[in-house]
Amino acid sequence: MSESGKPRGQCFPDNRAIDQTSCTRDMLLDREVCDRARLARDARFDGRFFSGVVTTGVYCRPICPVRPAGSQNVRFFPSAAAAERAGFRPCLRCRPEAAPGTPAWQGSASVVSRGLALINRGFLDEHGSGDLAAFLGVGNRQLTRLFMNHLGATPGAVARTRRVQMAKRLLDETTMSVTEIAFAAGFSSIRRFNAVFAETYGRPPSQTRRSSPIDRTRAATIRIRLAYRPPFHWPTLAALLASEAIPGVEAVDGCAYRRTISVDGRHGWLEVSPSPGEDCLALMLCLPRYAKLRSIVERVRALFDLNADPARIGAQLVHHPQAARLLAEASDLRLPGAWDGFELAIRTLVVNDVGHADVTGIMRRLAENYGVHLAWPPQVGPHLIFPTAGCLAEASLSGYGLSRQTVNFVNRLARAVRNGKICFSPTQTFEDLVSRLRQTAAFDRPTANWIAMRTLGEPDAVPFGARTVRGLDAWGTAELADHESWRPWRSYVAVLLASAGLRAGAGTSGPLVRRSVRP
């Protein structure tokens, strides 16, 4: 008998059979490629698919250290949710919940990517699938069909898997109590958490915790490991984030990125740093409550583009001479996000008015005069919460050296955010956010593209313009006109340009690159 009580070799109690040919075709998985990657334990495929072993009823990551099962006994799935829907349970050795984000939806319909982003941030913890469908502007049946086509599971099944995976990670990696973990993972009750966890892992949460070797002494902070696909070059991404860090709110160095955060009116801070010898970043988080933990983790992952597949992106860009020459100067491809798109938009307005030399001082004064001081700041690092939209909506900003027009744009943008007309989250589509930024703050299209790209993690934005990348004449009209050939990774080319400018000592001011590198 297996741990879940099912006879070994029978994963489907109702004797249903899986049509593996149909499964691999519909889920865009090549069985031979998946099997070779599984047998070789190729880390580059980690998170791209999961393999279910019929004889044990367990599903694993391609890098699972357990002796590989015979190929004839293995089935492949594009997501953990699809494997669980087929009756398999997670492997306790390779921990599927710790795999990099499943990229099965990448490049598919915008509604699927937006829906998955909302699920990852906990939307279905407080709403139903019908609410999600209505929010995305589609019918519930259509949303279910799209999720089944791209992920092999319904939105509800994906959300359930995300909750239980987060709970397993918190049990393994933090000192939080079981009750705290249940609600932090998105469950509505302890009873429901215990039932789902036992159904998924074949044992109660308390037994899983007892088997973990971590010291359970309570602490004010929690630590979580965030996996990614290598390569990941910390200095490159840190330099880009440091170039636009707001003093008192953010601090970036060669060792860590630190910033203050506010979640549902509760203030705290986080620190992200490389984890030596591992393909993951270490997240340290300090908050009064962790009810929105899943959303915070997803925002951090987006900030460092941890769901990206650099090998896939680089393999396409290397065929384009202009992008290839820039790519040769960077060992990886990551799209730096923005923890708060409102901060980025305000900073962009200021830098477009006063320039790079004065923007840091003005942003510091804004944080000091209109922000909130943390009651329990970290020993080293930032201590100010950036001003809310409500604080800046009517601020006079006299004495800041800003033009009257820029002050008006700051006020208008803040009022739009305060009133819900602009939302810097996956609830707003990329094009809609670009349109609203242009209407509210008179950003030109490339600048609005840059802000929306950073906020929503859009891989194929077009932020190429006089205000976003200076010195474009060095590229030539023909080369810029050919940017269609960089699709679907045009955002990454823009970041490569920004990185080249930093290495050349040009400096940046938000999206501005003072000088581009001639290919």
Whether 452 and 361 share a structural domain: yes
- Kindly state whether residue 265 falls inside one of the protein's structural domains: yes
- Kindly state whether residue 393 falls inside one of the protein's structural domains: yes
* Domain end position, chosen among 180, 210, 240: 210
pLDDT at 160 over 90: yes
pLDDT at position 436:
96
* Domain end position, chosen among 210, 231, 258: 210
> Exposure string (b/e) for 378-412, b if CB count within 10 Å is 16 or more?
beebbbbbbbbbebbbebebeebebeeebbebbbb
Q: Is-contact 306 101, C-beta < 8 A?
A: yes
* Confidence band, pLDDT 50/70/90 cuts, at residue 218: very low
User: Count of CB atoms within 10 A of residue 1's CB?
Assistant: 7
- Kindly state whether residue 498 falls inside one of the protein's structural domains: yes
Whether 331 and 375 share a structural domain: yes
pLDDT at position 117:
82
- Kindly state whether residue 369 falls inside one of the protein's structural domains: yes
pTM for the complete prediction? 0.74
**Whole-angstrom Cα distance, residue 417 to residue 345?**
11
Taking only the tens place, the pLDDT of each residue in 452-501 is 999 998 888 888 764 554 444 444 444 555 567 777 788 888 888 777 76
Q: Is-contact 300 337, C-beta < 8 A?
A: no
Percent of the chain at pLDDT exceeding 90:
44
Greatest pairwise CA separation for the chain in angstroms: 75
Strands 250-252 and 222-227, sheet pairing: unpaired
* Domain end position, chosen among 210, 236, 252: 210
CA atoms within 13 Å, Cβ hemisphere of 459 = 22
Whether 232 and 160 share a structural domain: no
Q: Quick one: the chain helix, strand, coil %, rounded to 5?
A: 45, 10, 40
- Kindly state whether residue 318 falls inside one of the protein's structural domains: yes
110-119, 242-251, 274-283, 399-408: least confidently modelled range: 110-119
CATH number of the domain bearing residue 408: 3.30.310.20
Percent of the chain at pLDDT exceeding 70:
82
pLDDT at position 480:
53
pLDDT at position 331:
60
Whether 428 and 322 share a structural domain: yes
CATH number of the domain bearing residue 130: 1.10.10.60
pLDDT at position 217:
41
Q: Is-contact 236 332, C-beta < 8 A?
A: yes
- Kindly state whether residue 218 falls inside one of the protein's structural domains: no
Listed ranges 3-17, 231-245, 333-347; the one with the highest mean pLDDT: 333-347
Whether 174 and 304 share a structural domain: no
Sign for the pseudo-dihedral over CA of 276, 277, 283, 284 = negative
pLDDT at position 88:
96
Whether 52 and 187 share a structural domain: yes
pLDDT at position 433:
95
Whether 181 and 290 share a structural domain: no
Mean pLDDT of the region 427-452: 92
pLDDT at position 20:
36
Q: Which residue has the higher pLDDT, 36 or 469?
A: 36
Whether 243 and 138 share a structural domain: no
Q: Which of 287, 384, 226, 169 is nearest to 234 (CA)?
A: 226
pLDDT at position 191:
93
Mean pLDDT of the region 80-84: 92
- Kindly state whether residue 7 falls inside one of the protein's structural domains: no
pLDDT at position 401:
94
Strands 50-53 and 74-77, sheet pairing: antiparallel
Whether 62 and 141 share a structural domain: yes
Whether 244 and 173 share a structural domain: no
Sign for the pseudo-dihedral over CA of 128, 131, 135, 138 = positive
Instruction: Look over the chain and give the mean of its residue pLDDT values, rounded to a whole number.
Output: 81
Record the tokens describing residue 148, joined without a space: 């089944």
21-30, 86-95, 320-329, 477-486: least confidently modelled range: 21-30
pLDDT at position 384:
97
- Kindly state whether residue 312 falls inside one of the protein's structural domains: yes
How far are the Cα atoms of 164, 223, 317, 382, 417 from residue 184, in angstroms, in the given order? 11, 14, 40, 25, 27
Mean pLDDT of the region 263-279: 92
What is the domain count for the chain? 2
Q: For residue 373, what are the domain limits? A: 223-513
pLDDT at position 508:
41
Whether 200 and 260 share a structural domain: no
pLDDT at position 151:
83
pLDDT at position 230:
87
Query: Coil, helix or strand for 155?
Result: helix
pLDDT at position 10:
33
pLDDT at position 467:
55
Q: Where are the beta strands (DSSP E) in 168-279?
A: 222-227, 250-252, 257-263, 266-274
Whether 146 and 121 share a structural domain: yes
